[in-house]
Copies of this chain bind each other. A is one copy, B any other.
């Protein structure tokens, strides 16, 4: 093995490839009775990995200069995650525009990008626009599961 790491590798493309396999663009919702809309909206970008190979998660953190790597207390996995809307808009979204996903996960990214833009415009703090945001977000990550159904969330608002 060469002594110098493979930094002649195109690291942006490599991380997009890794993300296409193991990454997730997610918009989750939590009931928050004290908020005007009763619902908190939390966008995040994350990549999970078994602990024996967490070095790639550290590489993500090093590359993006933001986010955290945490251990999942329930199993042996680690997760790199960014929840800051500003960091998502300033760093993550531009990256995946420059080095696009090549699988159908790209559709989730495109929806994620729209939702982050709407949140920047504060559409999530207004009940009428939040309804649209929830409906749109619930069409993402069709293979995953949601803690709260779209119907439950919409009932909380109205």
Residues of A within 8 A of B (CB): 1, 5-6, 9-22, 49-50, 52-53, 55-56, 59, 99-100, 102-106, 110, 142-143
CB nearest to A23 among chain B residues: B21
Cα separation A20 to B10 with both chains bound (whole Å): 14
Instruction: List residues of chain B with CB within 8 A of the CB of A19.
Output: 17
In the complex the two chains form, is A102's CB within 8 Å of B55's CB? yes
Give which listed residue, B1, B16, B100, contacts A17 with CB less than 8 A. Answer: B16
Instruction: List residues of chain B with CB within 8 A of the CB of A20.
Output: 14, 17-18, 21, 56
Say whether chain A's binding surface is mostly helix, strand, loop, or mixed: helix
A117 to chain B, nearest CB (A): 15
Instruction: List residues of chain B with CB within 8 A of the CB of A55.
Output: 102-104
In the complex the two chains form, is A9's CB within 8 Å of B102's CB? yes
Task: For the A-B complex with A18-B20, A52-B143, A56-B103 known, give 5 more contacts whose Cβ atoms are closer than 8 Å.
Answer: A9-B13, A13-B14, A17-B18, A17-B19, A55-B103
Instruction: List residues of chain B with CB within 8 A of the CB of A9.
Output: 13, 16, 99-100, 102
